[in-house]
């Protein structure tokens, strides 16, 4: 079975790097995108097994990217875990209503995020 590929979509370089290292150490292949536009192109080309998606990004926010991924690939065909520093019940409910598999608040517990990722896409 091939190693699952995770697409991290996060505009903050340091956080992207920390996530990448954590996921690689957890047994995943990782692809990175700086914003929603870049991530859409990568998702079309690479077909990741899971997308970790920041809500607040320049050019295209996470909500718009989620909508476009669902349009291009079908709802639920690529699981999406959204994360944001704006953690409230409304945002969490909105993520679920719009088809995200999970929502994680920032700053997040890296081990909890890795565990959540492994539940959705078990590493090989």
**C-alpha dist (Å) from residue 63 to 2, 67, 105, 119, 124:** 29, 6, 15, 23, 30
If you ran DSSP here, which 8-state letter would residue 123 be given? -
Q: Which pLDDT tens digit goes with each residue over 23-50?
A: 999 999 999 999 999 999 999 999 999 9
Average pLDDT on 106-124 reads: 84
Query: How far is residue 44's CA from residue 25's CA, in Å, rounded to a whole number?
Result: 25
Q: How many domains does the chain have?
A: 1
**Is position 95 within any domain?**
yes
Residue 38 lies in domain: 5-119
Q: What is the largest CA-CA distance in the chain?
A: 38
| Tokens coding 66 | 């989620």
CATH of the domain at 109: 3.40.50.2300
**Is position 124 within any domain?**
no
């Amino acid at each position: 079975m091939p190693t699952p590929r995770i697409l991290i979509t996060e505009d903050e370089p340091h956080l992207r790097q920390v996530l990448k290292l954590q996921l690689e150490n957890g047994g995943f292949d990782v692809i990175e995108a700086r914003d929603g536009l870049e991530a859409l192109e990568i998702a079309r080309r690479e077909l990741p097994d899971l997308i970790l998606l920041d809500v607040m990004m320049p050019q295209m926010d996470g909500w718009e990217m989620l909508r476009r991924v669902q349009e291009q690939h079908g709802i639920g065909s690529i699981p999406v875990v959204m994360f944001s520093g704006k953690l409230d019940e409304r945002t969490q409910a909105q993520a679920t209503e719009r088809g995200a598999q999970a929502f994680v608040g920032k700053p997040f517990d890296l081990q909890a995020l890795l565990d959540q990722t492994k539940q959705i896409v078990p590493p090989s």
